[in-house]
Amino acid sequence: MNRRERAAVALAGAACDLDGLSLLGGSDAYYRYHHMLFHNAGSALAVIPLAGVFFWRRPRVWLLVVFAFAAHIVEDYFSVPWDMRPWAPFSATVVNLGHHVPGWIVQSVFQPLAMLFIFAIVIWIYVRYHRTPLEIISPAFDRLIIDYVVLPWRNRCADCNRRAHFRCTLCGRAICAEHGTVLRGLSPACKQCLATRPLSVGARP
């Protein structure tokens, strides 16, 4: 999948919570519509043709968009002790896992487990594909943040032997913050390259 398609799947996974915007109408509207308006079978079915408009030539992406949306609904049932009507508009039956097990178990056990699972998936994606969900915002921002976190564990600055947080876009050397800078476009560059090849950078700090 390309970046646009990955972004569509990720956004579909969060789209259910658009009903949380009901908070703008006050607390009563929030408790009436959040986990109700878009957390149901009707909205999931509506996503099928909507996703098909954009991805009818890419059935795998189409399926993943719908799956991500539906998975959010299922995950909320197991991790949030909140009244939901998952079968709306076909049935007004209210379901709430908190009615079957203590609410503290849902929030303090099931919810953290769900968050750990999602975090584990993010780590797996990074290990396998060297990217994170930050790529949706900007691939350059994703690389910058990930390098800042990961590089210091195994890399030292090529100029001073301090822990390196960046990798020069021009020469590929690992550098620390003192011996490098982040240019427009979020591209790190070492001071040595900036001094010797300023015109090839194409941007200034």
- DSSP-based three-state secondary structure for 159: coil
pLDDT at 137: 87
pLDDT at 198: 56
> CB-hemisphere CA count at 13 Å for 178?
8
pLDDT at 192: 87
Pair 123, 162 in one domain: no
Q: How far apart are the first and last CA of the chain?
A: 33
Pair 132, 146 in one domain: no
How many domains is the chain partitioned into structurally? 2
Pair 162, 116 in one domain: no
Pair 89, 43 in one domain: yes
pLDDT at 199: 47
Pair 177, 128 in one domain: no
Pair 65, 133 in one domain: yes
Ranges of the chain whose pLDDT falls below 70: 197-205
Specify whether the CB–CB gap between 186 and 144 falls below 8 A: yes
Which residues, in sequence order, are CB contacts of 174 under 8 Å at separation 6+?
151, 155, 156, 157, 158, 164, 166, 167, 168
Pair 88, 123 in one domain: yes
pTM exceeds 0.95, yes or no: no
Pair 108, 190 in one domain: no
Q: Domain of 168?
A: 140-201
Pair 81, 177 in one domain: no
Pair 30, 57 in one domain: yes
Pair 10, 91 in one domain: yes
Dihedral sign (CA 24, 82, 136, 8): negative
pLDDT at 55: 96
Domain boundary (84, 113, 137) is at: 137
